[in-house]
Amino acid sequence: MNPACSRWKRSCAPCDGPFYIELPLRPSKNWTRCPHPVTVITFWENLLRNLRQNGATTPFFVFSPYPVEQALKSLSTIEKTVPVPVRHWFPCKAQPLAPLLDWWRRQNRPIEVASDFELMAARKLGFQPENILLNGPCKTWLNRFEDLRGLRVNIDSENELGAILSLAKELDWSLGVRCLTSEEKDPDNPGCPTQFGLEPNKAVNVLRKLTRERVRLETIHFHLRTNVESAEAYQRAIEQVAGICRAAQFKPGYLDVGGGLPPPWIKSRSGEYLDSKMKLSALAPVLAKAVDLFPGLREIWMENGRFLTARSGVLVTMIRDKKVRRGVQQLICDGGRTLNAMPSVWEKHATFVLQPRYSRLVQSIVYGPTCMAFDQLGQMMLPSSLRIGDDLVWMDAGAYHLQWETHFSHGHAEIWWHEDSRVQKVRSNGQFSAWWVNLGG
């Protein structure tokens, strides 16, 4: 069978056109039109069909740790090049899903948290304080915690230092300082810096003060932004931070370069792949050279959330209504942007149909169920033969989706967890009682 035959044509939006499959599935040159490898698509297809046959109710999320494993393997390019160990911290804020965090802990890997809730979640799952790195602003609430001997904390401001210094001494915390480099800018106001970290002169003052106080000062830290465009941005930031350390006569044991690596396969709203310019092969030598700028450096730390977790989940939503207007196929589904996929505001994700629908591709808009024109997963090319009751699979829904769910006149979606060839429901679809209590009813 010719895989390009229209009978076998299927869509994977927003790729540059359809991808083709020939049953049974096997790679062919036509797969290059879709960014996802054939193994990725077939993994999710098989898993989702099994779930639908066994009662999964749309809308629902499915998450698995195995794509995270693949992301870690791809980072080995860096680990093999850098002459000191590279430690990967899991940013809880990227995907605070209990089974995933527990899986990460069982791999003997550390976690990065940025709020009191995230800290409590890490402790509840059994992460030891020395394997918890606390970042983020406004950490004065730390005075409420007294059982965290050995915690790792990156200081974000002078006021924050004053509020927690005595506790840090008492509990022997490993402290670091977050620096604001010129590479970090407010995405909504490009001419302004962000609200995070310490400017160079203040960072030098804080480092000197911590040295005088004889606390366990070990880390220097910066975080640029999400979806960093190139390795050169890291290089410039590292050089600035090295200058801060020289001015303060501080030799860090750990260089924390934060996160920001863009995930694969996802496009910006303008249609460019987020990782089109960021190559791990280019970042590796930048981090390797950083070792020479920090005498005595023992480790480099990375905190990549989207890169690790985006590929770890999908959102499945069912077509509940269909309209064709002015040549555009409008698909109204039971899940969408407002309820489940806020990143669709600035990201274009591949979307495929779970049922076999082989037909002409037409311009389509996928909507959620709320009464807002804003509620769109996106515009894409999809088969004209789609039917009410068909399932659409929104790929790469593993980062910053659960956190931004809403209760806009609906309940939360089901969540399923896949590990060791087993799938279990870890959250049922939201019921009226929970929705109403959440609103004070």
- Amino acid identity, position 16: D
pLDDT tens for 347-364 read: 999 999 999 898 899 999
Q: For residue 226, what is the DSSP state? A: S
% residues pLDDT > 70 (the chain): 92
pLDDT band for position 34 (50/70/90)?
low
Q: Which residue has the tokens 């694969």?
A: 264
* Partners of residue 414 on adjacent β-strands: 60
Q: Is the pLDDT of residue 16 over 70?
A: no
Give Dmax (Cα) for the chain: 75
Per-residue pLDDT, 190 = 82
CATH 2.40.160.40: does it fit domain 6-64+311-433?
A: no
Q: Is the pLDDT of residue 31 over 60?
A: no
Domain boundaries, the chain: 6-64+311-433, 76-303
* Partners of residue 219 on adjacent β-strands: 176, 254
pLDDT tens for 418-440 read: 999 899 999 999 999 999 999 99
Q: For residue 375, what is the DSSP state? A: -
Question: Three-class SS string for 44-69?
Answer: HHHHHHHHHHCCCCCCEEEECCHHHH
| Whole-number Å distance between alpha carbons of 440 and 417 | 30
pLDDT band for position 187 (50/70/90)?
confident
Q: Characterize 161-194 residue by residue with b for buried, 16 or more Cβ atoms within 10 angstroms of its Cβ, and e for exposed.
A: bebbbebbeebebbbbbbbbbebbeeeeeeeeeb
Q: Which residue has the tokens 């999400």?
A: 226
Q: For residue 195, what is the DSSP state? A: S
C-alpha distances (whole Å) from 79 to each of 268, 285, 348 are: 28, 10, 30
Q: Is the pLDDT of residue 25 over 60?
A: no
Per-residue pLDDT, 440 = 95
Give the DSSP per-residue string, 377-419.
Answer: EEEEEEETT--TT-EEEE----SSSGGG---SSSPPPEEEEEE
Per-residue pLDDT, 11 = 52
pLDDT band for position 186 (50/70/90)?
confident
Tell me how crowded residue 28 is: count the other CB atoms within 10 A of its CB: 14
Per-residue pLDDT, 276 = 95
- Amino acid identity, position 251: K
- Amino acid identity, position 201: N
Q: Is the pLDDT of residue 238 over 50?
A: yes
pLDDT tens for 133-175 read: 999 999 999 988 878 999 999 999 999 999 999 999 999 999 9
Tokens of 347: 């990201």
Q: What are residue 378's phi and psi, to 5 degrees?
A: 150, 175
Is 121 exposed, middle or buried, given 0-12, 13-18 or 19+ CB atoms closer than 10 A? middle
pLDDT band for position 27 (50/70/90)?
very low
| Whole-number Å distance between alpha carbons of 310 and 400 | 8
Superfamily of domain 76-303: Alanine racemase (3.20.20.10)
| Whole-number Å distance between alpha carbons of 153 and 124 | 19
What SS3 state is found at 174? strand
Q: Is the pLDDT of residue 312 over 50?
A: yes
Tokens of 360: 């002409």
